[in-house]
């Protein structure tokens, strides 16, 4: 029970929900409560690699902090979301009928490579005066989140057909891909939000090494 677990998180469940399910099956299997923790969350709408630590492995959590990550993101141009993702209120933000060209999109996307300043989204787990920002934002309160320096090592355009843009990006720890998607839309003058997000790598760990949550629960039940 003392192990590092690589789990492929499905859509529609929180990272804490994944931890709870894994803890439940491992505790039942061991006949005693087994400690399980995650090393970095994914939003409910996002899928992909989660690293969980079970049993004595939870003491190794510091090893998994501040690791670089890779994501594949799908971005909808011409619309915005109050949360930066599909869970928010969607608004059409681009009235011009002329789509952005491949060249325009490529130029803007590549301009984000390197060290950038990024404002933490209001709908995030960062603490503001001791409370999670998303808790305040959900109550309609104005949230003044901090700005952080992050590093975008690479962004590759996988597919672009207006208004849908699909990218692969390698980033430093602490980078919000929702904010990156929104910033790309702002710089293009169209607005944008993430329609899908998948984490494919955390440092040396890859999604190909991960077990889908449903399969892991079946194997250990």
Residues labelled catalytic: 43
Residue 166 phi/psi, 5-degree rounding, is -120, 125
**Torsion-angle region of 109 (φ positive above 0: left; ψ -120 to 50: alpha; else: beta):** alpha
Bridge partners, residue 197, by sequence: 73
Q: Return the DSSP state at 46.
A: -
- Mind spelling out the 3-state secondary structure of 66-133? CCCEEEEEEEEECEEECCCCCCCCEEECCCCCCCCCHHHHHHHHHCCCEEEEEECCCCCCCEECCEEH
Alpha-carbon span 77 to 63, nearest angstrom: 37
């Amino acid at each position: 029970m003392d192990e590092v677990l690589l789990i492929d998180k499905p859509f529609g469940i929180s990272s804490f929900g994944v931890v709870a399910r894994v803890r439940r099956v491992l505790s039942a299997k061991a006949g005693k409560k087994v400690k399980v923790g995650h090393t970095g969350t994914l939003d409910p709408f996002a899928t992909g690699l989660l690293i969980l630590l079970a049993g004595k492995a939870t003491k190794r959590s510091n090893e998994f902090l501040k690791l670089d990550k890779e994501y594949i993101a799908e971005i909808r141009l011409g619309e915005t979301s109050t949360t930066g993702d599909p869970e928010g209120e969607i608004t059409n933000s681009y009235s011009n009928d002329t789509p952005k060209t491949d060249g325009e999109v490529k130029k803007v996307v590549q301009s984000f490579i390197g060290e950038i300043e990024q404002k933490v989204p209001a709908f995030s787990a960062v603490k503001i005066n001791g409370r999670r920002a998303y808790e305040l934002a959900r109550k309609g309160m104005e949230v003044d989140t901090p700005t952080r320096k992050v590093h975008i090592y690479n962004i590759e355009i996988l597919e672009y057909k207006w208004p849908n843009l699909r990218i692969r990006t390698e980033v430093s720890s602490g980078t919000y891909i929702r904010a990156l998607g929104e910033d790309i839309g702002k710089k293009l003058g169209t607005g944008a939000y993430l329609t899908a997000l998948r984490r494919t790598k955390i440092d040396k760990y890859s999604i190909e090494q991960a077990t889908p949550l449903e399969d892991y629960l079946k194997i250990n039940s």
